[in-house]
Amino acid sequence: MRLDNALINEIKNKVDIVEVISSYVTLSMRGKNYFGVCPFHDDHSPSMSVSKEKQIYTCFSCGATGNVFNFIQNFDHISFLEAVKKCADMCGVNIDIKPTTDYLANNKNKALYEMYELSQKLYQNNLNAKEGKLARDYLTKRNLSEREIKAFDIGLSLDGYDTLVKLLEKKGYTDKEILKSGLANANDDGLYDIYRHRIMFPLHDIYGHVIGYNGRAYDGDMTNKYVNSKETDIFKKRDFLYNYHRAKDSARAKKEIIIMEGPMDVIRAYTVGIDNVVATLGTAFGSSQSNLIKRLSSNVILCFDGDAAGLKATKLAIVELQKVGINPKIVRIPDDADPDEFISSKGKEAFQELLTKAYDVMEFKALLLKKESNLNTAEGLANYVNAMITEINGINDDILREVTINKLVKESGLDKETILAKLTPTEEVKVPVPKKIKKENRRYTESLNGLIYYMLNDPDIIKKYDKSHIYIPDKNYRSLAFQISAFYKKYGYIDEADLMTELRDDEEMLKVLGMIETMDTTSLSSDAIDDYIKNIVEQNRLEERKKYQQQLHQADDYDAKLAIGNKLIADKLRSEEND
């Protein structure tokens, strides 16, 4: 479905970009704009500005810019029209847009997605067939109702040697495609199913498409309790979090996300109404997953298994989350249990109490260090204090640093001065200074910036630009000036957020707009427009002279040199006449 731009902009005007982005990222007012951590790059300090007046956002670090639709589209990884639909729902405008599958229709991995969709249907049918009785009984014993089974698309792979392979072959997929899917292996006898006699937990991408499986043993003695899909072109473990596609809306609404290890942990939490939960599936928590989490909330609770492996995973996750500016809270499940076991035996209230009492990072580290040291001995106390001083030296937040120091003073009985003397002084944070423009290019660059900036903000400047018929040497600025002029001629007004709607498919132009938004405009003046245009024209002449001089240097023929020389003289005369 294609919507008229007028309707799209009407929807944009009915929502407030500050309110919308605030539901994704924490914003704080600074001057007339709002600032928050940019979710589109590894940002550790608020570098994204959101303008309530202009209804646009701009990152002063990576240059990401756009209106409310662009933000939702890029944050949620959805189409532009789906982002419009999301805003329309917010403001009560009824438009009929179904989620797009265009990116699958033209996707080089279309066959992989289709094979996984077929496999999911087969596994769900298996679970509901008479052959699935033992698996259904197992799930019942695990206190999973039909509601959870359907909600999480749980299925069953049967004992058949090549049941799925035959289905895929029947649908026309080649052996090469089937092997590439990771759903089958090959031996001398041909292809055979990887998953057999396992309860199947589908793994979904952020759009909700099945891209892999977590197959669980449920009957008899099996070597591997869980078998996860191997990596394919559509499934990368480092980029994956189980249940992300379901949990994202709840996490944003609750402004909190809980990270666990296994699918049963997540599903068990759902049974008691806790739905802002994802799982790592036992893989190492890395930078890609940290950035996925960062898109949902800065309030993160790590709730891994209570055993030694869970503790190790917790420590690694803390490091990765802190790299993206998140200080998580930590829950440790007692008695080496996992969240599934704890909720099943102790109940929702007991688990919620654990969440409420979650440790912050420094409390958690202090707790671990105390367990490693005997605080009743002088040597043990000294080891603990020295270890805590090392941790404190890594704290960048001044308030957290001071609070932790005061706690250490109270615990150790030492004078504060003694501890302060051992600490490394905090370095003053340096504000990045934009690179200086070379002196000879400063006038031209400022003229370009000034012209485009005022064209975006004043229709009279657009008219002056049109009358001047100037040629802008820089391709990006030239294209943007043309787009601004064309927009004004078409609609009779200029609005940057609406212009971004018009340019929604032109990433290059959006980048240029972002660059204009991040520049320093303090030296610009609308009264200097004539000078800006004159400087741009002069730059054209300089570029022409450079071109002629280069041609003159390369020419071998006397007549060619004479013709080029005449062009240089004529160009100089025109310049003197205009001056």
pLDDT digits (tens, 9 = 90+) for 322-364: 888 889 999 999 999 999 999 999 999 999 999 999 999 999 9
> pLDDT for 215-242, tens place per residue?
999 986 666 788 889 999 999 988 899 9
Q: How many other C-beta atoms lie within 10 A of the C-beta of residue 545?
A: 15
- Looking up tokens 């049918």 gives 125
At 463, the pLDDT band (50, 70, 90 cuts) reads very high
Residue 208 backbone dihedrals phi, psi, to 5 degrees: 100, 5
- pLDDT (average), residues 97-104: 53
Residues 417-452: b if buried by 16+ CB within 10 A, e if exposed: eebeeeeeeeeeeeeeeeeeeeeeeebbbbbbbbbb
**Whole-number Å distance between alpha carbons of 369 and 374:** 10
In this predicted structure, what is the pLDDT of residue 472?
A: 85
Continuous H helices in 29-153: 68-76, 80-91, 102-105, 110-128, 133-141, 146-151
**Long-range contact set of residues 540-549: C-beta below 8 Å, sequence gap at least 24:** 540/470, 540/471, 540/473, 541/571, 541/574, 541/575, 543/473, 544/571, 545/571
Tokens of 112: 């992989």
Q: What is the pLDDT of residues 297-311, one digit of tens each?
A: 889 999 999 999 999
pLDDT of residue 284: 82
Asked: is 364-422 a CATH 3.30.1490 domain? The reply is no
Inter-CA distances, 148 with 218, 264, 273, Å = 17, 11, 11
Could you tell me the pLDDT band of residue 63, with boundaries at 50, 70 and 90? Answer: confident
15, with CB counted inside 10 A (0-12, 13-18, 19+), is: buried
Is it true that domain 105-235 has CATH number 3.20.20.150? Answer: no
Q: Which fold has domain 439-578?
A: DNAb Helicase; Chain A (1.10.860)
Q: Report yes or no: 87 and 216 within 8 Å, Cβ to Cβ.
A: no
How many angstroms separate the CA atoms of 56 and 497, rounded? 6
According to the model, what pLDDT value does residue 567 have? 55
Architecture of domain 239-357: 3-Layer(aba) Sandwich (3.40)
pLDDT of residue 532: 86
Question: Per-residue confidence at 436, pLDDT binned at 50, 70, 90?
Answer: very low
Residue that wins the pLDDT comparison between 563 and 491: 491
Q: How confident is the model at residue 548 (pLDDT cuts 50, 70, 90)?
A: low
* Stretch(es) of the chain classified as CATH 1.10.860: 439-578
CB 389 within 8 A of CB 419: yes
Region 53-71: mean pLDDT is 91
pLDDT above 70: residue 248: yes
Instruction: Specify the pLDDT at position 560.
Output: 60
| Per-residue pLDDT at 557 | 66
Whole-angstrom distance, CA of residue 216 vs CA of residue 196: 10
Q: Which of 333, 313, 200 is nearest to 265 (CA)?
A: 333
Q: What is the mean pLDDT of residues 131-150?
A: 94
pLDDT of amino acid 434: 42
Residues of the chain with CATH 3.90.980.10: 105-235
pLDDT in tens, 366-410: 888 888 888 888 888 888 888 888 888 888 778 888 888 898 888
**Tokens 């969709």 — which residue?**
117
Ranking 122-136, 153-167, 360-374, 557-571 by mean pLDDT, the lowest is 557-571
Residues of the chain with pLDDT > 70: what percent? 88
Sheet arrangement for strand 277-279: 277-279, 257-260, 300-302, 329-330, 359-360
* Displacement of CA 119 from its chain's centroid (Å): 29
- Whether the CB-CB separation of 384 and 378 falls below 8 Å is answered with no
Nearest to 113 by CA among 153, 173, 155: 173
Domain 5-100: homologous superfamily in CATH = Zinc finger, CHC2-typedomain (3.90.580.10)
Pick the closest to residue 132 from 150, 107, 159, 109 (CA basis).
Answer: 159
Token pair in block for residue 543:
């570029």
By the 8 A CB rule, do 405 and 419 touch?
yes
Rg of the chain over Cα atoms, rounded to whole angstroms, equals 31
Pull the structure tokens for residue 321: 């989350």
Tokens of 502: 């018009």
Q: Say whether pLDDT at 435 is over 50.
A: no
Q: Which pLDDT belongs to residue 438?
A: 47
More confident residue, 158 or 522: 158
- Looking at the chain, the domain(s) classified CATH 3.40.1360.10 span 239-357
SS3 readout for 207-253: CCCEEEEEEECCCCCCCCCEEECCCCCCCCHHHCCECHHHHHHHHHH
Instruction: Please tell me the distance from the alpha carbon of residue 529 to that of residue 465, in angstroms, as a whole number.
Output: 9
* pLDDT at position 144: 93
Q: Does residue 559 register a pLDDT over 80?
A: no
Ranked by mean pLDDT, the top range of 4-13, 168-177, 495-504 is 168-177
Percent of the chain clearing pLDDT 90 (strictly above): 44
What confidence score (pLDDT) does residue 433 get?
43
Q: What single-letter DSSP state applies at residue 528? A: G
Instruction: State how beta strands 257-260 and 277-279 pair.
Output: parallel
What single DSSP character describes residue 129? S
Element (H, E) at 412: helix 398-412
pLDDT value at residue 324: 83
**pLDDT reading at 287 higher than 90:** no
Of 429, 442, 460, 405, whose CA–CA distance to 519 is shortest? Answer: 442
